Amino acid sequence: MDLQKKIIWLASYPKSGNTWFRAFLSALMNNGEVDINQMEKIMFSSRQIFTNHTDLNSTYLTDKEAKITQPLMYNHLAASYKQERFYVKVHDAYTFSHLNQPIIPTESTFCAIYFVRNPLDIAGSLANHSSITIDHAVKRLADDDYAIFNQNNNLNTDSQFRQFISNWSFHVESWTLRPPFPVFTVRYEDMLINTFDTFKQLMQHIDPGKYNDNELLKAIEASSFSSLKKQEQEQGFGERFSAKNQAFFRQGEMNGWEHELAASQVEYITQKHHSVMKRYQYL
């Protein structure tokens, strides 16, 4: 295979700004227009993408088998992809298979963008997204074994492979300290406070000089939180995790934890994640 470095990973702990940036990219590539239900979505954990490019029935693979096969499949996808770059969303922590090989392929990776958000704010958003209590979400942020689509048996018919997340601090450090390829870390809070400069800087890393300021501003306006929320209210959003939750695009604010979390929950999160929170100026 002609292994060129084409993949840009959009990596994050759940509910940290990944989908917002994908909406911005969609608007940027479509002349300032975005349909939240038509955004390109290549997700590392997708069984459908895996099946399309391997002709293997993924339901027969154990998680161990999947984690040694997925990076091979993405190397193959990159080799056959006609465009210079493409984006892949990933929530998995950056870890290694039982053969001590990284589950994220280095050979075909151009770079990664890692979105980090204050775990105090993630708690309420995660609770809504997963239809669980805030107390449950607070505990989940500290759960070393937390995984999405956590099925260990064969004949798993979920639409996605198991995604090992682990606790919030582990996830952040797995992506920001381990990979051998460039990782550009961006705080969700900076995306909110200084959207233009933050997004422009990211695009300069990815495609220097490709987009002018007017194109960036147009895409930012089209993908504003209010615009995305309005679209979801009018037509729904296919990526909403559960029909039980109120909305995928809920508040999109910072420091919402101040009126959502009890003092004991704040203390629990800050004790569990003190070091990493301090590093990203959340303490």
Domains and CATH numbers, the chain: 7-117+145-241 (3.40.50.300)
Beta bridge partners of 7: 86, 109
pLDDT, position 143: 98
pLDDT, position 91: 97
Tokens of 192: 């909110």
Strands (E), the chain: 7-12, 86-90, 109-116, 147-148, 163-164, 183-187
φ and ψ at residue 190, rounded to 5 degrees: -70, -30
pLDDT, position 151: 60
pLDDT, position 39: 74
pLDDT, position 158: 74
Q: What is the pTM of this model?
A: 0.91
Beta bridge partners of 187: 116
CA angle 141, 145, 148 (to 5 degrees): 80
Q: Sign of the C-alpha dihedral, residues 163, 164, 170, 175?
A: negative
| CA 193 distance to own-chain centroid | 20
pLDDT, position 247: 54
pLDDT along the chain (283 residues), means of 10: 84 93 91 76 90 88 93 94 92 97 97 98 91 95 92 62 96 97 97 96 91 95 81 62 51 85 98 98 97
What angle do helix axes 47-54 and 63-80 make, rounded to 10 degrees?
60
